[in-house]
Amino acid sequence: CSFIHSPKGFPKLKNDTFLRAARGEETEHTPVWCMRQAGRYLPEFRETRAGQDFFATCRSPKLCCELTLQPLRRFPLDAAIIFSDILVVPQALGMEVVMVPSKGPTFTEPLKEVEDLLKLRQKVDVTAELGYVFQAITLTRHSLEGRVPLIGFSGAPWTLMSYMIEGGGSTTMAKAKSWLYCHPEASHRLLRLLADVITDYLVGQVAAGAQALQLFESHAGHLGPEQFEDFALPYIRDIAQAVKSKMKEEGLPLVPMIIFAKDAHYALRDLARAGYDVVGLDWTIRPQEARAQTGKDVTLQGNLDPCALYAPKEKIGELVKKMLEGFGTQRYIANLGHGLYPDMNPEHVGAFVEAVHAHSRHINKH
């Protein structure tokens, strides 16, 4: 990957199927990509990452570019997603996060008291703090040579807040949720700070060359409908609105935006009206039901159970066909209902991608 400084003059896009589906235009086949497609299930990924600190990898535009491109060398995916991590945003706010082997991301000093909010940077210059992501996007966009569009992303405020308070993963999110009940004002202050940084971060990704954006509300399932409506949805909405108006202001292309709120089927109607072009779905909802709740004006993305990829290849083909029949082949982007797992067989990922293309073409012809 050779770095070209000017973000302008990107190669012409050859396959825009993913972008057309995101905008609700007709496509010849259903586009497909996979969450965590640049990941440990690929031996070449493990090799590139060997002995390298995780966040050091995230800070190397050259390595991010290489890791982003690896799955595209193997599979005819319809989009690339930049290799990075949602926790770079808390890092930009001044928090220290380390990747602990077999434990995952760990905050050395999580937020414990409301007073701890004062330790966070109240004004973040995203170019200074997260410029390495922007460089990775520009470099990757050039190195893709127009093969497929490049997706940028961020974690959503509630998901990031929950990590910042829990200090890592959690099965209950009890510490973070207790803030919502005991310190609602402070919670809103933190969520607002996060939403502002995320907005600038996403706009910066588009300026750097991202052609679509996905917001990950990965911990939506820990909230009930009321809490989601109070502490997650308003910020999800604000981010869509603010990003779109800043893209206009700065004369940037208005790229499609995807919201993926895992396990939030209680909020699908609201999410469909939150200002996003695409609503991502996890595997716990039936395609027909998701369509009924989200209406006709939004594209859906998802939602094969990632564990279906452990099945024999023929079975994967059958499940994909059923999924396509459920969603329909238009206004639809095929994906998994969550990310790929490290022990998955790359050949089965290939079978998934090929089945989406083959079955959707067949359905479209007939």
User: What DSSP string describes 159-184?
Assistant: HHHHHHHHSS--SS-HHHHHHHHH-H
pTM for the whole thing?
Answer: 0.97
Catalytic residue of the set 163, 201, 235, 332: 163
Residue 327 lies in a domain: no
Catalytic residue of the set 49, 59, 147, 291: 49
Query: For 263-318, what is each residue's pLDDT tens digit?
Result: 999 999 999 999 999 999 999 999 999 999 999 999 999 999 999 999 999 999 99
Catalytic residue of the set 85, 116, 230, 305: 85
The answer to whether residue 163 is catalytic is yes
Looking at the 3D structure of the chain, how many domains does it have? 1
Residue 360 lies in a domain: no
Q: Please give the residue range of the domain that contains residue 144.
A: 18-307+332-343
Please report, for the domain that includes residue 138, its CATH number: 3.20.20.210
Kindly report the length of the chain: 366
The answer to whether residue 36 is catalytic is yes
Residue 205 lies in a domain: yes
Residue 4 lies in a domain: no
Residue 284 lies in a domain: yes
Query: For 131-172, what is each residue's pLDDT tens digit?
Result: 999 999 999 999 999 999 999 999 999 999 999 999 999 999
Q: How many whole angstroms separate alpha carbon 88 and alpha carbon 97?
A: 9
Residue 97 lies in a domain: yes
Q: How many whole angstroms separate alpha carbon 248 and alpha carbon 59?
A: 29
Residue 127 lies in a domain: yes
